[in-house]
Amino acid sequence: MSLACSPVRNAVVIALAQFQGNNEGNSTVVYCLEVVGNLENEKEFHVIRQPFPLYNQVGNVVWSNNQLRNEVVARGTVISFQRIQSASLLCEAYRGNVGKVLDMNMVLSKLQFGHQGCNGVAYRGIREARPDVVVTGRGIIMQQYNWLHPCIVLIGVQAAKTLDGRVIFTTIQGEEYSLKNNCRNHMQSTIDEVTLQVPRSRNDVGSFVLVSFPMANMSDQYLQADCEGILISSANLSTQNPGLQTYEMSRNPRGLCFVINNFIFQNEALNRHGTEYDEEALEDLFEELSFHVNVVQNYTGREMWDAAIDVAAQDHSAFDAFVFIIMSHGGDRDTIYGVDGRPVRIEELMSEFIATKCPTLQNKPKLFIIQSCRGSSTECMVPPNCHIDSVPGFSADSTLARGTCPQEADFLLAFSAAPGYYSYRNPKFGSVFIQVLVNVLRTHHHDSHLSELLQEVTRQVAETGTAQAVQVPAYSNTLRAKLYL
């Protein structure tokens, strides 16, 4: 088979979409716009032509999570590619990561509506982009399709919301559509149910959706359009109610999830049986959520402190968030115990991640999840077959109650139990809090933000207890926006 290859060119990743043939969220289609000019100067580079799907190193349009992670491919990443053409295929093939990340607001500002010379192209409506489409109760369909040139277009929107796996939007031309939403990060793109700013001029694209007529179902006479990406201009964010803003969570990996699991103590009576189920569940969950997970076990108090210092000193600039999970025994004054019995104040561990000590996490959400008891409670009796994560003889004195979570924005602190209450763990399946947390996040992270999810965790954990065995999780946060994992 004869192949024609173009010279190597550059492109910027603008969207990641879930592959239609996979509902598990672990395979992705990567969409790009070609970039030309001087990438070192924002005034000297341009995006050109229309979006295209990027084929990976093995010639497949579908990328695995491992491939994305290994190649550090995320929205804004600049990659190199070649255009390859044969008698039966025209595709853009990945050749490498250039090592640069472009600001998406700057990328959007380079687009123009309609066919404006060689600039990147966006449209004010579906019919402007494809006059031949047919709108039916099924959605937007085409009767004719050129398999060599997939139809992938950027459509400017003035209002949009996500609902039940679909994106409902109004184009700049006033067209109203509802499309299946394949976007891997739509909840992180600030579309909840908000009105978006109408572009101010021809060159101000504003916000848009990426619409494609997929290459799947080749036997179908009609090919239904889907939404593959949602891109929001920062100009729109300033005009919205701050309560509707969300944290950006589009990079892959999203960030580091660092887990300390203490279960073999110098005092064998304190060994935490069953915690291996929690560790496995958390590792699986956060890998599914596109975090890089690092699990360590059986740290002394000094080692926990050193680990916090070391992790805070790392460069998190390529990430959107950070998660720190500790599972151990706890005591008074919100301390967490190392396997040597040495206590460490959670407040002091968190303080290592304030902006002055960890500048690469500034303005990014930092989540701390603690599975432990927080002192003793006279209201608690231990249920049969359950263990508790506390060291006897301490009273409750709470970081949450005293409000001494770091006094700056973007922190969340989640405890498995309220001050003075036990945190239950079953040797046969793990702790109540962690298992409920994992189940709720895995089931609802697409459609609810983290604060809503933690409320549901509280409800479910509380309802698993009895009058003799009460466990109520507790949370405190200084988050400035909604966080969708």
Q: Which residues are catalytic?
A: 329, 373
Question: d(Cα 308, Cα 305) in Å, to the nearest integer?
Answer: 5
Q: Measuring CA to CA, which residue among 431, 432, 433, 457 is closest to residue 444? A: 457
Q: Which helix (H) or strand (E) holds 278?
A: helix 275-288
DSSP 299: -
Adjacent-strand bridge partners of 325: 259, 369
> For the chain, how many residues are written?
485
| Dist CA 243 CA 231 (whole Å) | 19
Q: Which pair of tokens denotes residue 89?
A: 């295929």
Number of helices (H) and strands (E), helices first, in the chain? Answer: 10, 29
261-297 burial, b if ≥16 CB within 10 A, otherwise e?
bbbebeeeebebebbebbbebbbebbbbbbbebeeee
And the tokens for 83? 């255009």
Q: Are 370 and 336 in contact (CB under 8 A)?
A: yes
Task: Compute the distance between CA of residue 393 and CA of residue 439 in angstroms, rounded to an integer.
Answer: 33
Cα–Cα distance measured from residue 193 to residue 208, given in angstroms and rounded to the nearest whole number: 15
